[in-house]
Structure 1
Amino acid sequence: MKMRLVLLTFLWCGASLLAQDYFPDNDGVKAKNNNYTAFTNARINVTPSQVIANGTLLIQHGKVVQAGTSVAIPENTVMIDLNGKSIYPSFIDVFSDFGVAQPKKAKSQGRSTQYNPTREGFYWNDHITPENNAIAKFKYDDKKAEELRKVGFGVVNSHIRDGIARGTGVLVALNATGDDADRILDDRSAQFFSFKKSIAKRQSYPTSLMGAMALLRQMYSDADWYDKGNSDTKDRSLEALISNRSLPQIFAAGDKGNVLRADKIGDAQGIQYAILGGGDEYEAADAIKNTNAVLILPLNFPDAYDVSDPYEANYVSLADMRHWNQAPANPKVLADKGIDFSFTLHQLKTPSKFKASLIKAVKYGLPKEKALAALTTTPASILGKSDKIGTLKPGSYANFLITSGDIFDRKTTLYENWVQGQINVISDKDQKDIRGEYDLIAGGMTYSLSISGEPGKLKSEVKQDTNKLKSKIAYKNDWLELSFETDKGEKRYRMSGRTYESTENLSGRLILPNGNGSTFKAIKTGALADKKSESAEKDQKPEVVPVTFPNVGYGYTSKPRSETLLFRNATVWTGADAGIMENTDVLVRDGKISKIGKDLNSSRAKVIDATGKHLTAGIIDEHSHIAGLAINEAGHNSSAEVKMTDVVDHEDMDIYRNLAGGVTTIQLLHGSANPIGGQSAILRLKWSESADDMIFPNSPKFIKFALGENVKQSNWQSFARFPQTRMGVEQVFINYFQRAKEYEALKNSGKPYRADEELEAISEILKGERFISCHSYVQSEINMLMKVAEKFDFTVNTFTHILEGYKVADKMAEHGVGGSTFSDWWAYKFEVNDAIPYNAAIMAQQGVTVAINSDDAEMSRRLNQEAAKTIKYGGMSQEEAWKTVTINPAKLLHIDDRVGSIEIGKDADLVLWNKHPMSVYAKAEKTLIEGAVYFDLEKDSQLRESIKKERNKLINLMLKEKESGGKTQTPRQNKKERFHCDSL
């Protein structure tokens, strides 16, 4: 009792010293508490790697004075004996919104869309708000602070979670007794960014991930230009961005792919972001390691799916099942790779779930030292505050936890969380722990009693024989209150008693159901009986299924590599002057076609018997929307600055399906939401490789233009954006080309100019460095764009769709533009009513280079059959028909020197068909890209069996999880949207 009075006196005095010392005190005599507090006989974790056994921690004025085994104790010291207990630095969350008012979602105004900014004197885009400061919206909330302190946090870095450039954060100590002058450790702690636009602003641009990336690039470019004094007007957003450059930079990415995208943005600016992940980084650990970024990891491990209903179980994809199984190992995988990371409460429903998730990560192999670093030293390092927080070194804030033992043991109790030298009691460390198994004697009967739960929140279970009775328990300040009911609730027994250190048994007063008084006794029979014994739990290692490339169904355990292959005795469709060669051998070496001829030999080659089979070049789809995370940036009438290479989805199952259909290369095109769309990505469908490794090396530059109903927005009744007519579409082109000419002239003048990513791309068209693929239908508009191009002295490269191409084929040939069309689509909207299936053949007869494309994920894997339709509709020869999906699209994409035909020296992008390649019965047995087999029909059968077995294993693991009391979620179908030109 005496020690408690001393401690209370210390705390009262300590609170007064937190007030700013130059403030007048009109409430009493000024006094400064210079006392020390020494915590002795504790296991002190000074840092994750420095542990002092049976040590002393000395603090004064809210700071650590010393920690060690031989600490000199001053006379004016309050002594606290922590024999058998542990001390850890309090935790730090660098990605919080604690105490910061978050914006409210802007009210919807129907179909009305806002294209222009709403602010003057700030950046042109409302989602760029680096001038925002979290401190201006900060209000300390002790109720929420208490929730955070209860799970071990002492400091949080809070910010406004809204917008693309979000402004600065505020670093806050969760000090319950001080004021903001004490708590605010830094009012400009970091600068925050994301790919998500503000919910409070209605400006439409950007509408896509690629738009957000382009906006960030332009923002940084504009800041550099502004910083050099080139602007005649004041921009408070850019000034704030420039002013905040010296702060830590934190980027909210949210998943493995966006981690890599954010790092690319940073690399281009010489910025190393600390990046918020999403828990799936284990799938791209090697690539993330190469970023050198420090990650901020949420511990939001998914619950198992309730797969007890076999029909509902079918809804859950293998990828989602795997993520449930693999996600808890994410921190362990990253730690093994040497990737630094911190933990955050972000995405957890409540802070109370944090401890279980943290312990789960450790159970899945995360070393405890790494786990502690992720909560202390790493977040402190991210914030540049390692000298003040995150450790218990001299001079650091006295932010520390007192626990009953190892903080990563689920049975460990957190007693106190000290923040800036101020105590916050979580559980009374001096209170006796009464958890265990008892024989309860009450009212002449003996019952079994189990007391479990956390020390501050106990649970009781009372049984009469095997019958569980309704019970309730409360325990505080060594006083126990217990009640239970018998006879279906008709009889209620109420007990109250005080516990004593001298005995493990419990006793006290009992009130019987009839109101008479008596006594009860609970005799302890042993420790709490776990469902699993301690040793069994330690020995049991979670079973984690292997990661594949990509980590979805039909992913590969190893990435294909180029082989030396000899295809013997095939029917070879060269697509060149040699035509179709019967009973011919093709040798593939070093990713190239090495030899073509009869009776070839190579001692090192793997021989493939192709007798009765057909070998062709890989199919090329000039117009595709598979393998994209987004298709349209619809926020402006021109989005020439956006890049499809930014949003390649290397995990799209349609890549694998296309390989099974013999497709090896595609042009991933922007959609047709605006007259001037985004820059294309030419991809090789290298299933198992990263998005970057799928991009065709040294790709020619392309951009998507569009004509017709979509760009004038007649199909979705939008009236806010220019253009609204086909005439307006022409004026958009003329305006942008004229601006690009003037921009290029300014660049070449040597005068200062503002670099503009949009006009840079359009200037490349005028210089012949970038080619246009134009979505088109109606002959009048086709003529219009050719005339606009001729006015500005360039040639349109490709009209895609071009379903009225047969009407203007002679003019197309004269202009020099190619046509990439459907084989037999028509009448699916008004502007294609005049389409005919003879279109491709008629254009080809006029000398136009013609390709058959898909624009559809389902059609793209049957382009061999689409090519065959040109034989029926127009009488093309077999060879010319096959060229519409091989060498002709290669010519349109300017890659025909590398792919599209079987010729010596070209890349070995090949398909081996079991039958005539344009037969409806033909199957691709092997599909090669640069000599590596990316699809194999025999391996496909093996994968199907492997997937069945893995699904069954994961289902059984989830059933076990449910049976053992684990939480589950309802099965759901998580299907990727298939994109088309007009997908928004």
Structure 2
Amino acid sequence: MKPDLLQQRPQCYLSRLTYARRAVLAAIGLLVAGFSARAQETWPVNGVADPKNDCYAFTHATIVKDAQTTLSNATLVIRDGKIAAVGAAVTIPKDAVVIDCKGKFIYPSFVDAYSDYGMPAVQRRGGFGSSTGPQFLSNTKGAYGWNQAIKSEVNAVQLFNADETKAKSLREQGFGAVLTHQNDGIARGTGALVSLAAERENKTVLLPRVSAHYSFDKGSSSQDYPSSLMGTIALLRQQYLDAQWYRSSPAKEGLNLSLQAWNDNQPLVQVFEANDKWNALRADKVGDEFGVQYVIKAGGNEYQRLPEMAATKAVFILPLNYPQAMDVEDPNDARFVSLADMKHWELAPTAAGAFEKAGIPFCLSATDLKDVKTFLGNVRKAIAYGLSEQKALEALTKAPATLIKAYDKIGSLDAGKLANFLITSGPVFAENTTIHQNWVQGIRYAVKEDGWKDPRGSYNITFNNTTYPVEIKGTPAAPSLVNKDSIAGKIEIDGQLVKLIINKTKDGQQQLRLSGAIGPDNTWNGSGQDEKGTYGNWTALQTKGFTPKADTAKKKASQELGKIYYPFVGYGYETLPKQEDILIRNATVWTNEKEGKLEGTDVLVRNGKIAQIGKGLSAGNARVVDGTGKHLTPGILDEHSHIAISRGVNEGTQSVTSEVRTADVVNPDDVNIYRQLSGGVTSSHLLHGSANTIGGQSQLIKLRWGANAEQLKFQHWDGFIKFALGENVKQSNWGERQRTRFPQTRMGVEQVLADAFTRAKDYEKAGANKRRDLELDALVEILNKKRFITCHSYVQSEINMLMKTADRFGFKVNTFTHILEGYKVADKMKAHGAGASTFADWWAYKMEVADAIPQNATIMQRVGLTVAINSDDAEMARRLNQEAAKSVKYGGMSEEDALKMVTLNPARLLHVADRIGSIKTGKDADLVLWSDHPLSIYAKPEKTIVDGIVYFDKEKDLELRARIAAERARLTAKMLGDKKQGMPTQRPVPSREEIYHCEDLQAGHQHHILDEHGAETFNQ
């Protein structure tokens, strides 16, 4: 219900008679002038119609029309919920209620471009691996799409229900309008612009269809697919393709309201909830594929990668949800908090200022806050940490209004726009400023009206011809009074009424007791009595106004702040290492070429390539590294790795998921990259897991520590894909509820393969006008020898089955991985043309490895196969040189052949041996300088070089450890300082890292807790 206007009147200094007379005149005028408009309303009136013509004039204010325009001693006139005029020389309408705003500031009300205000609560349900068992298709009733995480048909305007409790909390922080949507699903439908007025929904909906919303979160969907981030991205990509096909193809499969809505929503503002710096880049990449420029809703850590954020060309919505300091008083708790989390706590408030400095457009939002009451405080904190006040105001008014194409209605104080504005006691972002009122659609909402008139200052109070100097201090809402001798008295202000007690002596025996009123021109007068009982009249004259103190929050700007690391973990760089020319002199060089092992040899690196190999080479301007007594080898290549993958290594919800791509989810912040560099690894083949027969596409990366995801990727290599056989595929170890997904037997696996490639052949024959299917596209690439298979395998019967199936459909299996029974079928593999990537001596960890032997690699190598040793384990990858050495022990393999199993042979299997895997002139300078024989358990990499860049240096590592200790000590002291000052803290939260293996079925399947260096301490 609309609040009673008589109760809403702000502090204006009119007589009650004048006030009532103007209200009556205004009502009469409206009956004549506005009857025709009001008569068109469809809502019935239960009683006598009472149309009102609301007109107000706010005079003598400092009016901030927008972030660039401030008017002094100006007037704002509003009528019928809209701004009628604003300026320094505005004619005040005769029917206007005049409100004197001398000493006040008027601002546009804030706009939040990301909210779920007024939306129904979303109930999360089970998904992949839930106790209810698998759900393969959507259970949404109606002619909608097949996946219930795609909710493009949802319209916020149809769900919107005004919530006065939440609206009030937002208004108190300065907001007048929000863009709201249902925060549920991967495609979330449309958003509506609504005001925060306490009115019916039909009056508060300003624009019903403004935006289309997306995320990487499946939300309330109980459907299995997708269960991983890579699956989510694949689904988004397929939805774009399906929508294009649905729009243009006459041969539709029937009505699909989800795809129809998807297409209808494309002209709207496209908003993507990324919530993370890397997800922001992933979303932008999907958008670029389909010509869509997303507005990106951030998560708060995007300041850590500003160049990449700028490159998206996106507008960002920045939440001001800063982490609280952790209570690190107990060192046993503190040691599990990562340095990255501590640094983020310190630097998160710098995000908005960093975006401004980088020239990246953004809006500010109250979304994600546990308590919206902290919003203005967090804005002030952002200002203290580098954000300009002008930009802060713009990011809360013009920027969001322009972004959602509503600047003609909101976002500034211009004639014709909605009367959404704030009346404040001072500059809106000043620490001591109070928001008195928030007017929304011309309706006044009191926020904190106590102290509307700031009484503070110095006064001369005259009583019966005697003057008493006093000073009024405190706050406008709670003033205090002292006399010239600093003896405290008492003051009470209630509206225009005032009571004073002036103590002449400290014991209070001599005092004046006064009461009266504050006039419209700030004249104080009334009557009172002194300690003798003498009555008299009194007046007060202000001799000096109140001068507010400088904001204490701004003092924090000068505090010491840590530096950003690349990547943002303890072992990150302050400045990324650069490529340099290097001469490694007098080392034992393991070439992996026909020259074999060369003693006392030099290797010159120029421009990231191996330039010369020989003795006594001239260094020129190259940096010289003494290799005397040391060994130089090619960098290790891990053919089977699951490091640096975000939110799930398996999309195990379907038997065939060849549409998913590990390339979409590379995680550059994974500390395992650095750890493996410390073990001599320079490249890793990131594989999908083994949960389904045909899994996802893989990605080869170089371990360029500090680079972003795209820079990590090995450029111009043949694409690979993961297949799997055996127990994982047929769900032997998935639990009793997982008994419905085909296949359930090894025989079924063969049928999945036959069916998939039969469909792929038919798909290829269908011609150019077919619906594009990303799953089948990848299989066609296999048939056309443009994508190659790495297959998880154990049992000889299945290995034979896959080779026969491949022969039947005309493709080859490039690599059998694991293959612990490879020694039984090595001759058949050689005839087929397959290679092997295996474990050195794993056995007896499940039934299908019962026949594993440690001589497996040697036997396959002697038959003539290309054999590699892989890790499939983030920890083992740090010691692949030692894993290779086991074949020397068990099988009598030569040392050089053993080293090749972790260098040249995996390069051959991955079709990159022309670039890496050996030390040869012209190849990439991916090298490791070892302290000892590279197959020795005592050997340690002293330098690991990728493309001529030293990414791991033993001496530098010691420096980093010292830096980590110092930085932790500094940040610990800073957090403890916050606690001592009474700032809110949270209990220490262990930093968790996802470590994946082949069989891990869900995102977050296995967590590892990190210590202060980012090293794993124990599992949970």
Normalised by the length of structure 2, the TM-score is: 0.86
Deviation, 1:395, is: 1.7
Could you tell me which residue of structure 2 aligns to residue 147 of structure 1?
A: 169
Equivalent runs, 1:605-616 vs 2, <5 Å: 605-616=622-633
Deviation, 1:542, is: 3.2
1:117 corresponds to which letter in structure 2? S
Equivalent runs, 1:352-391 vs 2, <5 Å: 352-391=373-412
Mapped pair 1:320 → 2:341: yes
1:205 corresponds to which letter in structure 2? Y
**Native 8 Å contact 1:431 1:478 kept in 2:** no
Inter-CA distance 505–657: structure 2 relative to 1 (3 Å threshold): farther
**Native 8 Å contact 2:455 2:472 kept in 1:** no
**Native 8 Å contact 1:660 1:861 kept in 2:** yes
Match of 2:754 among 734, 752, 759: 734
Residue deviations 1:187-210, cap 9 Å, x none?
1121111111131x3111000111
Q: Which runs of 5+ in 2 are unaligned?
A: 1-12, 459-470, 482-490, 501-512, 530-541, 1003-1020
Inter-CA distance 711–3: structure 2 relative to 1 (3 Å threshold): farther
**Native 8 Å contact 1:574 1:580 kept in 2:** yes
Inter-CA distance 15–76: structure 2 relative to 1 (3 Å threshold): closer
1:815 corresponds to which letter in structure 2? H
Distance in 2, matches of 1:428 and 1:172, equals: 25
Match of 1:122 among 121, 144, 149: 144
Mapped pair 1:541 → 2:562: no
Aligned residues between the structures? 929
Equivalent runs, 1:157-556 vs 2, <5 Å: 157-176=179-198, 178-199=199-220, 201-230=221-250, 231-428=252-449, 431-432=452-453, 455=477, 477=495, 501=518, 538=555, 541-556=558-573
Could you tell me which residue of structure 2 aligns to residue 104 of structure 1?
A: 123
Alignment partner of 1:265: what SS? helix
Match of 1:2 among 10, 14, 19: 14
Could you tell me which residue of structure 2 aligns to residue 850 of structure 1?
A: 867
2:181 corresponds to which letter in structure 1? H
Inter-CA distance 833–62: structure 2 relative to 1 (3 Å threshold): same
Distance in 1, matches of 2:373 and 2:494, equals: 21
Could you tell me which residue of structure 2 aligns to residue 973 of structure 1?
A: 990
Distance in 2, matches of 1:14 and 1:289, equals: 55
Distance in 1, matches of 2:216 and 2:447, equals: 38
Deviation, 1:74, is: 3.3
1:733 corresponds to which letter in structure 2? L
Alignment partner of 1:621: what SS? strand
Residue deviations 1:924-957, cap 9 Å, x none?
1111111111111111111111111111111111
Residue deviations 1:640-698, cap 9 Å, x none?
11111111110111100100000000100001111111110100000011111000011
Distance in 2, matches of 1:11 and 1:762, equals: 76
Could you tell me which residue of structure 1 aligns to residue 794 of structure 2?
A: 777
Match of 1:642 among 653, 660, 663: 660
Inter-CA distance 430–944: structure 2 relative to 1 (3 Å threshold): closer
Residue deviations 1:413-457, cap 9 Å, x none?
1011111111111122665557999xxxxxxxxxxx9997894xx
Distance in 1, matches of 2:975 and 2:30, equals: 51
**Native 8 Å contact 1:564 1:590 kept in 2:** yes
Distance in 2, matches of 1:535 and 1:251, equals: 37
Match of 2:66 among 44, 47, 53: 47
**Native 8 Å contact 2:27 2:51 kept in 1:** no
Could you tell me which residue of structure 1 aligns to residue 902 of structure 2?
A: 885
Alignment partner of 1:166: what SS? strand
Distance in 2, matches of 1:110 and 1:575, equals: 53
Deviation, 1:32, is: 5.8
Distance in 2, matches of 1:974 and 1:73, equals: 61
**Native 8 Å contact 1:701 1:769 kept in 2:** yes
1:346 corresponds to which letter in structure 2? T
Mapped pair 1:921 → 2:938: yes
Distance in 1, matches of 2:422 and 2:28, equals: 21
Inter-CA distance 540–187: structure 2 relative to 1 (3 Å threshold): closer
Could you tell me which residue of structure 2 aligns to residue 74 of structure 1?
A: 93
Normalised by the length of structure 1, the TM-score is: 0.90
Distance in 1, matches of 2:358 and 2:499, equals: 51
Could you tell me which residue of structure 2 aligns to residue 64 of structure 1?
A: 83
2:311 corresponds to which letter in structure 1? N
2:228 corresponds to which letter in structure 1? S
2:93 corresponds to which letter in structure 1? P
1:396 corresponds to which letter in structure 2? K
Alignment partner of 2:266: what SS? helix
Q: Which runs of 5+ in 1 are unaligned?
A: 438-448, 462-472, 483-495, 510-523
Distance in 2, matches of 1:899 and 1:409, equals: 60
**Native 8 Å contact 2:59 2:98 kept in 1:** yes
Deviation, 1:305, is: 0.9
Deviation, 1:31, is: 7.2
Distance in 2, matches of 1:345 and 1:31, equals: 37
Inter-CA distance 75–323: structure 2 relative to 1 (3 Å threshold): same
Q: What's the Cα RMSD here?
A: 3.1
Alignment partner of 1:727: what SS? helix
Distance in 2, matches of 1:981 and 1:379, equals: 45
Distance in 1, matches of 2:30 and 2:846, equals: 74
Distance in 2, matches of 1:595 and 1:105, equals: 61
Deviation, 1:912, is: 0.6
Inter-CA distance 499–404: structure 2 relative to 1 (3 Å threshold): farther
**Native 8 Å contact 1:11 1:422 kept in 2:** no
Match of 1:681 among 689, 696, 699: 699
Inter-CA distance 535–167: structure 2 relative to 1 (3 Å threshold): closer
**Native 8 Å contact 1:14 1:422 kept in 2:** no
Deviation, 1:156, is: 1.0
Inter-CA distance 403–294: structure 2 relative to 1 (3 Å threshold): same
Distance in 1, matches of 2:582 and 2:452, equals: 76
Residue deviations 1:497-539, cap 9 Å, x none?
9886489999999xxxxxxxxxxxxxx9x99999x98579548
**Native 8 Å contact 2:455 2:479 kept in 1:** no
Could you tell me which residue of structure 2 aligns to residue 488 of structure 1?
A: none
2:693 corresponds to which letter in structure 1? P
Could you tell me which residue of structure 2 aligns to residue 156 of structure 1?
A: 178
Distance in 2, matches of 1:12 and 1:329, equals: 52
2:112 corresponds to which letter in structure 1? D
Sequence identity, in percent? 50
Equivalent runs, 1:579-978 vs 2, <5 Å: 579-629=596-646, 630-717=648-735, 718-747=738-767, 750=768, 752-978=769-995
Deviation, 1:70, is: 2.1
Inter-CA distance 692–270: structure 2 relative to 1 (3 Å threshold): same
Alignment partner of 2:209: what SS? coil
Residue deviations 1:570-605, cap 9 Å, x none?
110001111001111111001110111111113111
1:190 corresponds to which letter in structure 2? S
Deviation, 1:120, is: 4.5
Deviation, 1:273, is: 1.2
**Native 8 Å contact 1:436 1:452 kept in 2:** no
**Native 8 Å contact 1:163 1:198 kept in 2:** yes
Alignment partner of 1:80: what SS? strand
2:754 corresponds to which letter in structure 1? I
Deviation, 1:28, is: 7.0
